[in-house]
Amino acid sequence: MSDLARYVYQSRHLKGGRLRWQAFHPSRESEDLSVFDIRDADVDAKEALDEEVATFERGRPKGRAELPMAAVEDAGLEYLRDDIPIARHANLRGFPVGGDEIVTKAARTQIAQVLALRATIGRLM
């Protein structure tokens, strides 16, 4: 079951029909991972969200990754819906920060790998 959508903007994050873990690294500015809640969205609602995201983000995404909420919980992240800048938007918070740079980067990478393994490609654009 797909609960969350993560939009992928870089082709290198989609390789060989699979999502790469780099697509799930948090923002350098906010330390959060931007996602969208699609729990009650049918195919038409997902496509409408795709179009809406393409108008406010960094241009047209390369694809939409879909992720079960259980993967977020298993990774130890917190789900925070804010509907900003558009409806359905949320952030995943709880990635390691501070401390030894190498250890922090390794821990973030491990979380991103867990998310990537549990994600599916919902749509290529």
- Sketch the domain layout of the chain as residue ranges: 4-124
Rg (CA), the chain: 14
At 81 the pLDDT is 96
pLDDT at 106: 93
Which pTM does this prediction carry?
A: 0.91
Partnered with residue 106 across adjacent β-strands are none
Which stretch of DSSP H or E encloses residue 49? helix 43-56
Tell me the pLDDT of the chain (125 aa) as tens digits: 689 999 999 888 988 878 999 999 998 778 899 999 999 999 999 999 999 998 876 778 999 999 999 999 999 999 999 999 899 999 999 999 888 889 999 999 999 999 999 999 988 88
Say which residues have a Cβ less than 8 Å from residue 47's Cβ, sequence separation at least 6.
123
- What is the model's pLDDT at position 11? 87
Sign of the Cα pseudo-torsion (109, 110, 116, 117, in order) = positive
Do 97 and 29 touch, CB atoms closer than 8 A? no
Alpha-carbon distances of 45 from 21, 52, 62, rounded to whole Å = 26, 10, 18
